[in-house]
């Protein structure tokens, strides 16, 4: 008995095992096109997005060193996938905000001395207690700056 030689052909993440005969050129082209189509579909799905975060600018404390007011920046940073680097520009935009800490709130920042609380605790307080409508409005302002609906093009192709 003769053993048929097995050849492996690998093309862009696709492995084909050949048993004795070579595939036709049409079959190879179909497989290549399927792989390329899959890659282009993935690239179309990748869209830039904005990552939002709170940054503490300053705080105001009372006589007992308890937080009274927090001045913060709500920052949006554009995250661009590698496939879209040519189509979009990097950028970030910040919106100022102020949060007055209520006296009746049961949170670490209102119960401990300012020098003992952590940045994470203050950001946690902001993310849980700032009104959703306020945050939504800030996100809309950031989105309009980073991803405008209309583009103004000053580099015209026919300018010489």
pLDDT at 71 (0 to 100): 95
Predicted confidence at residue 73, as pLDDT, reads 94
What is the per-residue pLDDT across 2-61, written as a single tens digit (0 to 9) for each? 555 555 556 556 666 666 667 678 877 888 888 777 666 555 567 888 999 999 999 999
How far is the C-alpha of 127 from the C-alpha of 5, rounded, in Å? 64
Domain extent listing, the chain: 7-45, 49-146
What φ, ψ does residue 26 adopt, rounded to 5°?
-65, -45
Distance, CA of 1 to CA of 9 (rounded, Å) = 25
Residue 93 and residue 142 in contact, taking contact as beta carbons nearer than 8 Å: yes
Tell me, rounded to whole angstroms, the distance of Cα 51 from its chain centroid. 4
pLDDT (tens digit per residue) in 84-109: 777 777 889 999 999 999 988 888 88
Kindly provide the residue ranges of all beta strands, DSSP E only, lying in the chain, ordered along the sequence: 6-11, 14-19, 49-61, 67-79, 92-100
For the chain, first and last CA: distance in Å? 76
């Amino acid at each position: 008995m003769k053993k048929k030689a097995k050849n492996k052909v690998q093309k862009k993440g696709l492995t084909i095992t050949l048993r004795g005969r070579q595939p036709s050129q049409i079959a190879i082209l179909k497989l290549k096109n399927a792989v390329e189509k899959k890659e282009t579909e993935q690239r179309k799905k990748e869209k830039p997005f904005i990552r939002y975060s709170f940054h503490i600018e300053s705080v105001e404390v009372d006589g007992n060193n308890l937080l009274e007011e927090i001045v913060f920046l709500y920052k949006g940073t554009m995250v661009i996938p590698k496939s879209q680097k040519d189509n979009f520009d990097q950028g970030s935009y910040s919106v100022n905000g102020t949060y007055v800490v209520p006296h009746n709130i049961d949170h670490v920042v209102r119960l401990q001395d300012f020098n003992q609380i952590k940045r994470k605790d203050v950001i946690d307080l902001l993310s849980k207690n700032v009104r959703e409508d306020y945050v939504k409005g800030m996100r809309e302002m950031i989105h309009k700056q980073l991803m405008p609906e209309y583009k103004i093009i000053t580099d015209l192709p026919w300018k010489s």
